Amino acid sequence: MTGNEFGFALVLLGLLLGLGKWIRVKSKTSQKLFLPTSIIAGGIALLLGPGVFGRLAEGLGFDGFVEGGLFTEPIMEVWSTLPGLLISVVFAALFLGERIPKVKEAVSLAGPQLSLGIAMGAGQYVVGIILALTILGPIFGLPPLVGALIEVGFEGGHGTAAGLGETFADLGFPEGQDLALGLATVGVVSGVVIGIALINWGVRTGRTVVVEEAAAMSLAEQRGVFEREDQRAAAWMTTRPASVEPLAIHFAVVSLAIVIGRALLWALQELEQLLWADAVEVFAFVPLFPLAMVGGVIVQKVIDRLDRQGLVDREMMLRIQGFALDLLIVSALATLSLQVIAENFVPFVLLALGGILWNVSAFIVLARRMIPEFWFERGIGDLGQSLGVTATGLILMKVADPETKTPAYEAFGYKQLAFEPFFGGGLITAASIPIIAQFGPFPMLTVMVLVTGAAIAIGVLRFGRRPPDPDVIARARPGYGTERQA
């Protein structure tokens, strides 16, 4: 693989994203499903790659396309390495450019949301490991690591699934990455489809508060573009380009966070080697990206204290994060092995159904018992995230609360600060696979059962019994009565 091949592989990703966006603008189906452009582009790359086009060409006697499909083998090699690199950029930028709030600031609003999110996330491990112990292991011969795939694929998404590829391979279960990527795709699609259906159900049954007609989005919103009069700057210019480009200085901040994360991971691995590596190894298999996120928090705390001029802009960080995530998703889907999913189709379907049923049930049963104000508008965001990714949750909240009248967005954001470091690609997600490999599934199952039970108990007994705040409700809809919240 040469530098030119690496560069051309990136150029092809850009072309695929452009083609994916064109399809999103023209296709009514993709608009109704709110499919992200990166998913469409990744699907195109998958069809043109060795798994589909390569197999068809082989059947017709054109053996030159077997290794890379319509692409070359070096390009596929580049794409296969990108997810593991880009996921660290995504997680390093997670909290950069946004003030880390004090604990008391966030607990009151985010507490119910956090309880629901933890219950959904930990419950995915419970469902997955039980499936692994009762069906997937005894009947299909899959290793206990398969029990972590629901949380990795659904809660973690494509980025986490791709970033954990090396960990799966090191622990003897390389198929885990492809199955997790497949689950992530199912999660994104089902998150939007099921979420929109639930919002329509909520409107018909009076469970929503501020929206009268679900999915009443403009044509531009469905296409994923801004009308000319609504267009806005992508980010603020915080430095003068004559000295340094704002994008360059923000990338430097992200790089610092990643370097700090790498140093933390190295320190933890060295400490493990000194103290307990002879008995068990965990950090040896933990990837970089959750520690890069910790590095981002450390850098942001320093910025909060020292940056008086506002040199670090949150919107610019979101652009860097979004760009890295789009490239990551396309390259991950392009290198997805359909053969692995086909060979494990029944276990794959069981994991997908188990995850979907758990998350939807948790939303319907638990959200209204945990969240005292606007449970539907706030809980639908957690459902979207638990099935797909954070963006899916934001899409559903946008549909359920198009004018941001409820505290759904604020509560969701505060909840992320405490949730993301652990679940959905955080430390628990990254450590769960080596922990199951080292200790077996039962300790992880026991801990996750306790965590799920504690989250439900705290959410229902503490936050759920708290009376709705009339001031919060009045700000959303003057004159609205608390009786409708029941």
Q: Over its length of 486 residues, how does the chain's per-residue pLDDT go in tens digits?
A: 677 888 899 999 999 999 999 998 888 887 776 677 887 898 899 888 887 888 887 777 777 666 667 888 888 888 888 877 887 888 788 788 877 766 666 677 778 989 999 999 999 999 999 999 999 999 999 999 999 999 999 988 877 888 888 889 888 899 998 899 889 888 877 887 898 889 888 878 888 776 654 445 566 666 666 667 666 777 778 888 888 898 999 999 999 999 999 999 899 888 888 887 676 666 776 778 778 888 998 999 899 888 878 888 888 988 898 888 888 878 877 887 777 788 889 999 999 999 999 999 999 999 999 988 889 988 998 998 898 767 677 667 777 776 667 777 777 767 776 787 788 777 788 889 999 998 999 999 999 999 999 999 999 998 888 877 666 565 555 444 444 344
Same domain, 195 and 156: yes
Phi, psi of 440 (to 5 degrees): 90, 175
Instruction: For residue 149, give the amino acid letter.
Output: L
Token pair for residue 323?
């760009």
Please state the separation of Cα 373 from the chain's center in Å. Answer: 26
Type and span of the H or E element at 158: helix 157-163
Q: Flag whether 234 is in a domain.
A: no
Q: Flag whether 362 is in a domain.
A: yes
Same domain, 298 and 333: no
Single residue among 257, 289, 312 that ends a domain in this structure: 312
Contact 79, 9 (CB under 8 A): yes
- The pLDDT, as a whole number, for residue 481 is 40
- The pLDDT, as a whole number, for residue 122 is 95
Q: Which residue has the tokens 């979004």?
A: 322
- The pLDDT, as a whole number, for residue 242 is 83
Instruction: Quote the CA–CA distance of 4 and 459 in Å, as a whole number.
Output: 54
- The pLDDT, as a whole number, for residue 478 is 45
Same domain, 159 and 186: yes
Type and span of the H or E element at 182: helix 175-204
Single residue among 312, 330, 350 that ends a domain in this structure: 312
- The pLDDT, as a whole number, for residue 13 is 94
Reported pTM = 0.72
- The pLDDT, as a whole number, for residue 6 is 86
Contact 461, 195 (CB under 8 A): no
Same domain, 327 and 296: no
Token pair for residue 152?
């990795």
Same domain, 82 and 191: yes
- The pLDDT, as a whole number, for residue 395 is 67
Q: Flag whether 189 is in a domain.
A: yes
Same domain, 439 and 399: yes
Q: Taking every pair of C-alpha atoms in the chain, what is the biggest distance, in angstroms?
A: 72
Single residue among 312, 340, 360 that ends a domain in this structure: 312
- The pLDDT, as a whole number, for residue 236 is 77
- The pLDDT, as a whole number, for residue 167 is 87
- The pLDDT, as a whole number, for residue 485 is 42
Phi, psi of 172 (to 5 degrees): 80, 20
Same domain, 96 and 207: yes
Contact 396, 192 (CB under 8 A): yes
Instruction: Quote the CA–CA distance of 391 and 180 in Å, as a whole number.
Output: 18
Query: What is the tally of structural domains in the chain?
Result: 2
Q: Flag whether 220 is in a domain.
A: no
DSSP calls for 121-163: HHHHHHHHHHHIIIIITTTT---GGGGGHHIIIIITHHHHHHH
Same domain, 385 and 283: no
- The pLDDT, as a whole number, for residue 221 is 61
Query: Which of the 8 DSSP states describes residue 230?
Result: G
Same domain, 178 and 86: yes
Query: Which of the 8 DSSP states describes residue 373?
Result: S
Q: Flag whether 382 is in a domain.
A: yes
Same domain, 8 and 72: yes
Q: Which domain holds residue 291?
A: 246-312
Same domain, 45 and 170: yes
Q: Flag whether 414 is in a domain.
A: yes
- The pLDDT, as a whole number, for residue 322 is 82
Please state the separation of Cα 256 from the chain's center in Å. Answer: 23
Name the percent of the chain in helix, strand, coil, to the closest 5: 75, 0, 25
Q: Flag whether 486 is in a domain.
A: no
- The pLDDT, as a whole number, for residue 417 is 66
Q: Flag whether 474 is in a domain.
A: no
Instruction: Quote the CA–CA distance of 23 and 17 in Å, as a whole number.
Output: 10
- The pLDDT, as a whole number, for residue 381 is 87
Token pair for residue 267?
């320190």
Same domain, 64 and 11: yes
Token pair for residue 315?
């919107």
